[in-house]
Structure formats: structure tokens, C-alpha cells
Structure 1
């Protein structure tokens, strides 16, 4: 009998005692239950966050967040059908004569397509830094006036030109532009107050709810403000411009043609 039992379990006598003790302990204690949190909500939250990383740069909610309306709306730097221009001046001569120190041109999206410091023909005696933001170092490597003038003329040719008090810019650039293509925010009727022109910063505060020109002027910011004022009123503005052109044409047609004067009688 005993011989038969030994044949059935030949490895029993060779079993490692440590292994036997471990098996015995596992049988007596049973499998250990997995640890679970007592809070089911925290459990589900951990499992969800474990599947994806938290977004540290998540977009803020719309409530309580104010974005600057003067920021460009896209990355399009093409030369559009309408452009805005702004110039900053420096003092030459006795200091009371203005000369071009910087010119900026932006497209209708608010992106800068030209921005250059300009070296005036005459010697600069007043940089007017508190207003112009121009410093002596800015004009050390500035471009020659004639080069800038030519480039600006190319950019605005055949396009609607937007700006504020553009007559000052034209005077500094020694350029002109067809009146039918000029959209000047200082002259637009709905922007006037009791018939008087208003500063660009006041128009920006009232119609755009944004503050500009607090200290040194930025021509990029000023050009964007003028362009945004135009874009917000473009439909009405263009209709008004069209009506004015028609009225001008009618008046010209009504004007009687002057008859040629007879020459002096010969004796």
C-alpha cells in the first residue's frame, strides 16, 4: 500500500519547505481584496482624469474676459482693397515745423503691411517723443524720405484709404489721394459733435470701448482704431460717399458752360 502511494506522488518528498509554507498561508488567508476608495465620486474623477491630461491652457470663459478689439482678426498680411494709414511727426527747422518721422500702413484686417521710421530731409531739432514715441536711435538707421514716400504711394494707389485727419499725413508725405477714396474718421458726419471734429481717442473710447493714446502714440494702434471705426460703419459710410458723388455729378452737369470770349477788335 505504501509503495503504491509513493509511486503516485514521486515529487512530494522533494517539495521545498519554504514553498509549502507559502502555499499554506495563501490557502488560509485567501486572496487580498483590491483597495477601493470609500468615496465613489473621487474614484470616478480619478479614472476620468487618468485617461487624459488636464488642460493647463484651457480657454477662459466668455464671462468676465475682455479682448482688445484692435487686435488683428486673422493672420492675413495681404494688401486689401481698403488700407489705413497713420503718421507720426518730428520737429524740424525751429521745431515748430513738422516732418515725417514714422509711417504705418495696415490692411483691413489690422495687420501691418508697412511700418518704417523715416529720416527727414531737414535736421531734426525736436523728436516730440512724448507724443510721437520716436527717439534719436530710431532715426539712426531710418529709411530715406523719398524711398518711403514712393512705397506708400504704391500701397495706397487705387485703394480706399482710411485714417484720422489724413490731410496732416498727406502734407508730411507730400502726397495726395483722390477724395472719393478717402475715408477720414475726423470728417465723417456721424462722428462729429455739434459740427466739430473730435480726437481719435475720443471716438475710440465711445464707439470701440477702447483706450488709446495714453501717453506716447502708437501709429499701428491709431491706424487700427481708424480702420475698425470704418469697418463698423462701412455700409452706411459707403452709401453716404456714393450719394455725395452723385450729387456732385448732378451739380457739375447743371453748371452752364462758359462761352468763349471774343478776342479784341482789330482797328
Structure 2
């Protein structure tokens, strides 16, 4: 839910800033600057409603990914995606459910910050791992090994305050290595995440949504963005503002489960050639 909190803070700050600007509009009279009257209440209310609606949309889109993954066993169909009713598990269900175990399939996504001159180089700052049902198995902020020169908060969602409870790179690497052992690792351009962790993984145990031919059709054979795939195939909008590695991992898992049969068939065909 850290992505939700960051989006709320960002939108709230934007709202407060906008209100202040409107309430303190200046006009020039006899060479002096004076403040005009406050914005009519109805205009402020409309702006508030607009922000609240945007926040509601963020909540809905993020919750929908988890809801669909959690509610369905096996393959997920287009019919399952059409059910937009969000049903999330209760705390008691989470404690008792087998769906909270790592299982055979894990989806991973990482966020990065900039290091070096002008933040041109990337350093791991967060890793999130979810299971087949979208349940978060591991989610940690990671202390960059070099001095951060660009937090890239607008896209990474990472800020200096997240480093307070962050783990070291070695800790994140070791935990990820343990989790991925004997697992099918799912992700979008997942080789980037593995490289960032300095981990290798057997090719036969990787399912990369960026390489599936059906997905690449919408970008004319080029590598499609995860955001574009989620919008086109899931009708779910992600990465509207700051990214969430949890949401991105869930989106990758949902895409995989939606086309699991076809992805596995294509994978077997490539291996046999």
C-alpha cells in the first residue's frame, strides 16, 4: 500500500498548493499588489471532488489486480476480468489460507534510483515479490550502495525517508535468491531485475511477459511497456503516477495467468527448436 500512500500524499499536496494559489491570486491597484477574495466555495468543492475521484481510481485499479488474482484458481479468463467487483481477503482468511505460501510461481519487480553524475546510473532501491495469487511474499526498500544523486521519486516512488528501514543490498539479494530457488520466476523484462540483483536463474524457469509474441503485436514486434499491456489486455491502468513494484509484479502475474496456456506452449516450442 506504499504506492497508495505516496499517491495520496502527492495528490493532497497538489490540492493544497492549488487551493493556496487560487486563494492568493494577486491584482495590481495603484502600483500595489493586493490579495483578491477567496475562491468561491463551489469551485473549491469541485476541485476537491476531482482529486478525491482521482484517488478513488488509484485505489480501485491497485485493488483490482489483487482481487482478480486472489479470487481465481488456475487459468484466468476474459470473463474473470470483466467482473470489476473488488473482493479482498480478510485478515483471518490471509492467516489461514494456503494462498499466502510462496508456491511454484513468483512474480518480481524492482524500482531504481539514480546514482553517479546527474543520476545517470541506476541502483536498486526496492524489490517486491508476489505469488501466484498476488499475495506479497517479499517487499523491501533497499539501501543503494552508492550516494543517490536522483531519487526519481516521480516514477520510482522512492524517497529518502524510505531508507530509514531499508535493508542492505546483500540482504535483499540473499532473500531473493532463497525465494527464487526451484521457482518459476515471472516478470516484465525480468532479466533487468535479475541483473540488478546480480542473480542468475535457469532460462527454463523464467516467464517474461515482454517476450510473448501475442503481447508484442500491439507494439509492432517491439518490446511493449507493462503499462501498455495492462491497459490493452487487462483494461487496468497502472503507473498513472509514481510506480509501485507490488502493482507491477501483480500486473505481470495477471498477464501471465491470463495467457498461461499460450505462453507455456510457445515456451515449449522454442525450447524444442
Q: TM-score, normalised by structure 1?
A: 0.66
Aligned residue among 192, 198, 203 for 2:224: 198
Find out whether 1:156 has 2:180 as its counterpart.
Answer: yes
Flag structure 1 segments of 5+ consecutive residues without an equivalent. Answer: 1-64, 248-267
Does the 8 Å CA contact 1:69/1:208 hold for their aligned counterparts? no
1:168-223 C-alpha deviation (Å, 9 max, x unpaired)? 21221111111111111111111003211111011001111100000100111110
Instruction: Say which structure is richer in helix.
Output: 2
Residues 65, 250 of structure 2: 8 Å contact kept: no
Aligned to 1:81: 104
Q: Which has the larger radius of gyration?
A: 1
Q: Tell me if structure 2 keeps the 8 A contact 1:201–1:211.
A: yes
Aligned length: 183
Query: Is residue 2:223 matched to residue 1:223?
Result: no
Alignment-derived partner of residue 68 in structure 1: 64
| Cα separation, 2, equivalents of 1:141 and 1:213 | 24
Partner of 1:119: 143
Specify which of 211, 215, 239 is matched with residue 187 of structure 1: 211
RMSD: 1.7
Give the structure-2-normalised TM-score.
0.64
Q: Matched residues in 2 for 1:69 and 1:77: separation? A: 16
Distance 1:69 1:182 in 2: 21
Q: 1:141, CA displacement in angstroms?
A: 2.4
User: 1:139 maps to what in 2?
Assistant: 163
Deviations 1:19-40 (A, max 9, x none): xxxxxxxxxxxxxxxxxxxxxx
Higher RCO (CA < 8 A, seq sep 6+):
2
Paired position in structure 2 for 1:102:
126
1:169 to 2:165 alignment: no
Match of 2:43 in 1: none
* Cα shift readout 1:75-120 (whole Å, capped 9, x = no counterpart): 3210110110000001112211101000000000000000000011
